[in-house]
Structure formats: C-alpha cells, structure tokens
Structure 1
Amino acid sequence: MPRAIVCLLDSVGIGGAPDAAAYGDEGANTLGHIAEWASEGKADLEGLRAGPLNVPNMDALGLGAAVKLSNGTVPPNLSDTPKGGRFGVGREVSKGKDTPSGHWEIAGVPVPFEWGYFPQTEPTFPPELVAEFLKRTGLPGILGDKHASGTTVIAELGEEHIRTGMPICYTSIDSVFQIAAHESHFGLDRLYEICRVAFELTEPLKIGRVIARPFIGETPDTFKRTGNRRDFAISPPEPTLLDRNAAAGHQVFAIGKISDIYAGSGVTHKLKGTGIPQLFDKTLDAMEMAADRAFIMTNFVDFDSEYGHRRDVPGYAAALELFDRRLPEIIAALRHDDLLVLTADHGNDPTWPGTDHTREQVPILVFSPALPAGEIGIRPSFADIGESIAAWLGLPPGRHGKSFL
C-alpha cells in the first residue's frame, strides 16, 4: 500500500514568480544565484566548500530542468535533462511569502486572508499590545521592540536580558512576533508560557506565528540558539492534507517544525530534530515506523534560518550539497509504491538585499519506483502538490488544486 514522503527544503526557491515585483523581489532566484556564485569560484573564507555547486542527485530528479522551466536558465553545473522522476514548478497563489502560507498551500489549503505585519519602525509593536503583554506576564519590560535578525539581536541584547530578566522581543518582514530568552537564566517553560500569552494577544491581529527562541551561553561570543524553538501558530482555515489523512485513520509524521506550522492539527506522530543530518535521521526513522498510507513531512529549516536569512551564500551552498549527499539514503529506503516529493515553501535568496524571504516559484521533484518519468509543467498553485499526494494515498479530492499524477 502506498505511502508519501515530503522533504521540504525551506526557502529553496527557483525564481520566476510572476508577481515578484509586487514584493520587491523581481529577479530573485535562490538556487540559481547560489549556483552562479559557486561557479565563479569566489572566496569562501570559512572553507566550507569549493568549486561549482555539486547536487547530482537532486539534479537527476530534475532540479536543473525545474529551474529552467521556472525562469529560462539552467544554473551552472546543473542539467536540463533529468534521469528519472517527474519535475515541475510550483507557483504560490497565497498572499505574502511567509512560512505558514507556503506550507498550508502545499498541504492543499491556500491562505484566503491577508496576514498582519508590524511596521518597520522603532519601536515596532503597538504600545497597548506591549502594555497588556507585560500586565499578563508580570514582566518588568521588554528589550528589542524592533525588526531584527535573531542571532544579531541576541548578541546585542543577550547580556542585558540576563541582567534584567526582560525578554528580547523582535519581528521581521514576516508575520511574526519572536521572543528570545535564555534557557537557564530565564527558563524554557517560562519562555513558552509568555509566548502563549503573546499568541493570544497577536492572533486577533492576524500575526501568523509567535516563536519562542531559546538560547544558551554567557557572552555575545558564546550565545547560541538551541533546538528547543517552538512556534505558536494560527490554525489553517480548513482541513489540510494532514487532517484529511489522519481523519482517514492513517499516520501523519511531522518532523522538525512541521507540527508547529500546522498548529499540531492532523499530526499523529511528532519528531523533533536539529540540523540537516538529524532531520535526515528522523525522516529515515519515520519511514521505518510508517504503516501503509502514512504521510511523512519534514521541514529542513536550516536552508532558511541558518543561511538564507543570514545571507550566507557559501553556507547555503554547502547545506544543499550535504542534503544531496544524503538523499540516496531516502531513495534507497523507498518501497516500490512510496512517493517522494522534494519542494519548497518560498525563496530566501542569499544574494538579495535585506534579510527576508523572497517571492519565488519552487521546484517540484517527484519520484517513485512505480512512477514513470516526465514533466508536470508550471502548476498554478502549490495546492496541486497536496492534491497529488492525496490521490496517491487514496484520499478523496480536496477543494483546491488538481493532481498532476
């Protein structure tokens, strides 16, 4: 009986979004620009890697061909001639370029409303929101109150946070309220509790997520975020693929931050992991445990959080190559009628100005030993991915999207 596995390469966009200009992202191309950078032999001061981008396993499934389909250009050292599987391009119809929008649409539910955002001012949060947050939590105040990079703001304010007990609150261009606090000095459970309060206060503003960002260390040089991040997210507006498969009595494995993104809805098994190697291991563990008609979804967040937002081009290239080296392990573990899908939720071009997501189309790479190779074209909605998986698992069609299988 069939199973389906989705490896979501968080932020690995491939350019070409027809509405990119409306977001200031016309010309952004995460995968293409990384490959161009690598082919030019620019200096990698950290010694992470060298030479052209080397991702032969994804390329064999159609990665280079998908980029060409998206924007007309084959990236350096990639090919437009896949060796197996089906390839295509996903085009998002949801507004914005946030994580929940892309994920929900991939699971068959485009976002029907506009997200709320905080202004790019300092302070950024409404005074009445901060006042109520402090009243309900008993905190002496907050630090930050601005748009910021998470690692930068922790280095800047971490010592003051430890000294005063005030959490570091910040946001970005995404629909998000983030709270950083020290795991031991402030306490992990306490951080989660104040994030629950913040979520109750921001939900009416249509802020998509409140994110707990715990860290450790004692000085700016030693501060480090931990894997105990937790997202408090608005629930999808209707049942997603996860809900539909769970309601049919089948397993749903949510790996990495997947459960947080879907507010736990439809998840029967939650597996946490930090870093690409551990997330790969957890995916392989899930494949061993998964019964017939199970759905497994893993978010490989490091592409986005560690390299895209930090505009770390060599780090991003090295992460893509690491993922590619381990991809054969998942392919080898597939049953004859398993379906593997590689895709992304948005872009985050590390060569682009700023530190935020970029509006891009995404690759759709589909492989099964039981599936003939071919092209699926440019899909008008990410929801086509969810409906294709639903069809593979024998679920009734949903309201959005159309299967390409």
Structure 2
Amino acid sequence: MARAIIAVLDSLGVGASSDAAAFGDAGADTFGHIVEACANGEGNRAGLREGPLRIPNLTRLGMVALAEAARALPLPGVDRPVPEGLHGFAAEQSRGKDTPSGHWEMAGLPVDFDWGYFEAREGTFPPALLDALISEAALPGVLGNCHASGTAIIEALGEEHLRTLKPIVYTSADSVLQIAAHEEAFGLDRLYEVCKVGRRLVDDYNVGRVIARPFTGHDRGSFVRTGNRRDLVTPPHGPTLLDQVQAAGGAVVGVGKISDIFGGCGITKSCKAVGNDTVMEVMLEQMASADDGSLIFANFVDFDMLYGHRRDVAGYAAALERFDSQLPAVRAGLRADDLVILTADHGCDPSWPGSDHTREYVPILGFGPHITPRDIGGRSSFADIGQSVARHLGLPPLAHGETFLNTPIRRGLEHNVTA
C-alpha cells in the first residue's frame, strides 16, 4: 500500500506568476534570482558558500528544467541533465500569497475569499482592537503598531519592551497580527495567552493568523528570536486532503509548523521541529516508522523565515545546497510504493525590495521507486498536488485540482514546456 511525503520548501518560488503585477511582484523570481546571484558572485559569503549554486540532486530531478519553463528564460551557470523526476510548476488560485492559503490550496482547498488585512503602514491596528487586547489581556500597553520586519522591530523596540513589558505588535503584507515579547522577562506562557486573546479578537477582522514571536537577549545587540514561535491559525474553511487521509484510516503526520498551519485539523500526529536540519531529521524518522496509507507533511520554514524575509541571498543559497545534500537520505528511506513531492507555498525573493512574500509559481518535483519521470508542464492550481496525492493513496477525488499522475500533460499556461 502506498504512502506520500510532501516537503514544502517554504517560499521557493520559481518566477512571477501571470497575476504577480496585481500584488506588486512583477519580475520577482526567488529561485532564478538566487541562481543569478550565485553565478555572478553576489551570492558569495566568506565562510559560508561561494561560486555557482550547487544543487545536483534537485537539478537531476528537474528543478532547473521547470524553473526555466516557469520564467521563460535560461538560468546562468547551471547544468541541464535529462530530468529523472516528475517535474513542473503551478500557479496559485487563492487570493493571497500567504502561508495558510498556499498550504490549504496544495491540500485541495483554494482560498476563494479575501482575508482581512491591516494595510496602514503606521498606526496600523484599529484602536478598538488594541484597546480590547490591552484590556482583556491585562497589558500595560503595546509597542509598535506598524508594518515591520520581525528582526528589525525587535532590535528597535526590544529594550523599551524590557523596560515597560509592553508587547510589540506588528504586521506585514499577510493577513496576520504578530506579537513579540521577551521569553524570560515577559514569559513564554504569558505571550501565548496574549496571542490566544488576540486570535479571538481578530476573528472579527477575518485575519488568518496570530503569531507569537518570542525572543531572548539583554540589549539590541543581542536580541534573537527563539524556536518557540507559535502560529494560531483560523481553521480551514472546508475539508482538505488531510481530512480525507484521516477519514480513510491513514495517519497524517505534520512535521514543523504544519499542524499550526491547518489549525490541527486533519492531523493525527504533530511533530514539532525547529530549523531545516531538525525538520529533515524528524521527517526521515517518520518515514522509517509510518504505516502504509500515511501522509507525511513537512514544512522547511528556514528558507522563508531566515533567508527570504531577511533578504539574505547567500544564506538562502547555502540552505538550498544543504537541503540538496540531504536528498539521498530521503531516497534511501523510501519504500516501494512511496511518492515524494517537493514544492513551495509562495515566493519570498531575497533580492526583492521590502520583506514580504512574492506572488510566484511554485515548483513541483515528484519521485519514488515507481514514479515515472516526466514533464507535467504548468499547472493551473496548487490543488493539483493534493489531487495527485489522493490518487496515489487510492482516496476519492478531492473537490479541487486535477491529478498529474498517469494522465496526459495538461496545456494552457503561458510558459508550458514540451514533454
């Protein structure tokens, strides 16, 4: 009996999608711009990495082929072997470019409504919301109240937070309220409780997430965010692939922040893991023990959190090379009827202005002992991933998406390639 593994390289977009201009992202290209920077030396960093991007395992699967098809331009300094994996790219149908929308859509549930956003750059949150948060969480007040990079705002306001114990509240282009506080001085459990209050309050604004952002350190030179982040997400608005697997008696193992992203819905086992290496370690452990019929769903958040949002091209490149070096261990852990899909949930181009996600196509790389290598072209929805996994696991069809397993290549996207 089959198993499926979905590994999300969080934010690894492969070129601006056809609707990117509407999001201010025309020209964004997370993977392509990293490859270009490494080829021209801008992706070098002493002691970390240098030279062209070296991802031989991803390249053999078809990463370069699908990226060049998605961007309709060649990439410099890369090899082009005949792909050994199922490879293509997908456009997002959901109306946002946020983490929940991307994951829910790849699980067969596009977000066909608009999230609520806090759009003002300063004085961002409605006074009624902040007043209620301060009152109901018994806070001395709040700091921030703006759009900001998480690391930058902690550096700017962390010392005042330590003096006043007022939590730092901020947002981004996503539908989110983020609350940062010192793990020791303010207290981690206290921060989680404040975020629970915030989660209830933002329901009135149709906001997708409240994120607890704990940090440590004693001054602006030493503040650092910890691995105790927690995402409080509104539950999916309908059933997903995860619910389908669970209903059929299969296990759904969420690794990293997957359980948070789905609000715990459809998850039978949640494995917390901080950092890409730990996520990989735990994913491999679960592959070794999961029963037939299982879905293992892992999110490699460092690509987005540490490198995309922080606009760190060299760090992102090094992380890709590190992930690539671990793929032989994934292959070694496969059983005869396993399917692995590598993909992403949105873009976060580290060469792009600002610190927000970018609207991009995402890669689809599939492999397994019985998976036939082929070009699946451009897909019209991330939901094709969920539909294909459902097909692989022998489940009834999902409401959205078209399978790319054992079907002719679909045509119709602007930059499709020839099979």
Measured against the shorter chain, the TM-score band is over 0.9
C-alpha deviation, 1:46, in angstroms: 4.7
Counterpart of 2:216 in structure 1 is 216
Q: Once the two structures are superposed, what CA deviation does each residue of 1:210-266 show, in whole Å capped at 9, x if it has no partner?
A: 000111111112211111111000111111111111111110110111110000101
Q: How does 1:1-400 map to 2 (within 5 A)?
A: 1-42=1-42, 44-400=44-400
Question: Relative to structure 1, is the Cα distance of residues 257 and 44 closer, same or farther in structure 2, using a 3 angstrom cutoff?
Answer: same
In structure 1, C-alpha distance between the alignment counterparts of 2:45 and 2:334, rounded to whole Å: 38
Question: Relative to structure 1, is the Cα distance of residues 46 and 159 closer, same or farther in structure 2, using a 3 angstrom cutoff?
Answer: farther
In structure 2, C-alpha distance between the alignment counterparts of 1:391 and 1:229, rounded to whole Å: 34
In structure 2, C-alpha distance between the alignment counterparts of 1:351 and 1:204, rounded to whole Å: 35
In structure 1, C-alpha distance between the alignment counterparts of 2:187 and 2:403, rounded to whole Å: 46
In structure 2, C-alpha distance between the alignment counterparts of 1:33 and 1:283, rounded to whole Å: 29
C-alpha deviation, 1:112, in angstroms: 1.6
Secondary structure (helix, strand or coil) at the match of 1:299 reads strand
Quote the sequence identity (%).
55
The farther-off stretch of 57-66 and 156-165 is 156-165
C-alpha deviation, 1:77, in angstroms: 3.4
Moved over 6 A (4+): none
Q: Report if the CA contact (8 A) 2:179-2:213 is conserved.
A: yes
Counterpart of 2:416 in structure 1 is none
Q: Report if the CA contact (8 A) 2:16-2:25 is conserved.
A: no
Q: Once the two structures are superposed, what CA deviation does each residue of 1:328-369 show, in whole Å capped at 9, x if it has no partner?
A: 111110111100000000101111111111100011000011
C-alpha deviation, 1:120, in angstroms: 2.8
Superposed CA RMSD? 1.1
Question: Relative to structure 1, is the Cα distance of residues 43 and 238 closer, same or farther in structure 2, using a 3 angstrom cutoff?
Answer: closer
Unaligned runs of 5+ residues in structure 2 are 406-419
C-alpha deviation, 1:45, in angstroms: 4.5
Q: Report if the CA contact (8 A) 1:68-1:80 is conserved.
A: no
- Counterpart of 1:348 in structure 2: which amino acid? C
The farther-off stretch of 114-123 and 286-295 is 114-123
The farther-off stretch of 66-75 and 378-387 is 66-75
Q: Once the two structures are superposed, what CA deviation does each residue of 1:188-229 show, in whole Å capped at 9, x if it has no partner?
A: 111111101101111121111000011111111221111111
Secondary structure (helix, strand or coil) at the match of 2:340 reads strand
- Counterpart of 1:178 in structure 2: which amino acid? Q
Secondary structure (helix, strand or coil) at the match of 2:296 reads strand
Question: Relative to structure 1, is the Cα distance of residues 25 and 372 closer, same or farther in structure 2, using a 3 angstrom cutoff?
Answer: same
Q: Report if the CA contact (8 A) 1:179-1:212 is conserved.
A: yes
- Counterpart of 1:151 in structure 2: which amino acid? T
Q: Once the two structures are superposed, what CA deviation does each residue of 1:293-319 show, in whole Å capped at 9, x if it has no partner?
A: 100011101111101111111011111
In structure 2, C-alpha distance between the alignment counterparts of 1:377 and 1:119, rounded to whole Å: 36
In structure 1, C-alpha distance between the alignment counterparts of 2:91 and 2:267, rounded to whole Å: 26
In structure 2, C-alpha distance between the alignment counterparts of 1:243 and 1:159, rounded to whole Å: 44
Q: Report if the CA contact (8 A) 1:31-1:349 is conserved.
A: yes
In structure 1, C-alpha distance between the alignment counterparts of 2:282 and 2:84, rounded to whole Å: 25
Question: Relative to structure 1, is the Cα distance of residues 197 and 82 closer, same or farther in structure 2, using a 3 angstrom cutoff?
Answer: farther
In structure 1, C-alpha distance between the alignment counterparts of 2:313 and 2:43, rounded to whole Å: 11
C-alpha deviation, 1:83, in angstroms: 3.5
The farther-off stretch of 177-186 and 67-76 is 67-76
C-alpha deviation, 1:267, in angstroms: 0.5
> TM-score w.r.t. structure 2 length?
0.95
Q: Once the two structures are superposed, what CA deviation does each residue of 1:137-187 show, in whole Å capped at 9, x if it has no partner?
A: 110100111111111111111111111111011101111100011111111
- Counterpart of 2:293 in structure 1: which amino acid? R
Question: Relative to structure 1, is the Cα distance of residues 52 and 224 closer, same or farther in structure 2, using a 3 angstrom cutoff?
Answer: same
In structure 2, C-alpha distance between the alignment counterparts of 1:213 and 1:102, rounded to whole Å: 21
Secondary structure (helix, strand or coil) at the match of 2:8 reads strand
Aligned length: 405
In structure 2, C-alpha distance between the alignment counterparts of 1:101 and 1:191, rounded to whole Å: 25
C-alpha deviation, 1:76, in angstroms: 2.4
In structure 2, C-alpha distance between the alignment counterparts of 1:44 and 1:182, rounded to whole Å: 34
In structure 1, C-alpha distance between the alignment counterparts of 2:78 and 2:291, rounded to whole Å: 36
Q: Report if the CA contact (8 A) 2:37-2:43 is conserved.
A: no
In structure 2, C-alpha distance between the alignment counterparts of 1:282 and 1:302, rounded to whole Å: 15
- Counterpart of 2:26 in structure 1: which amino acid? E
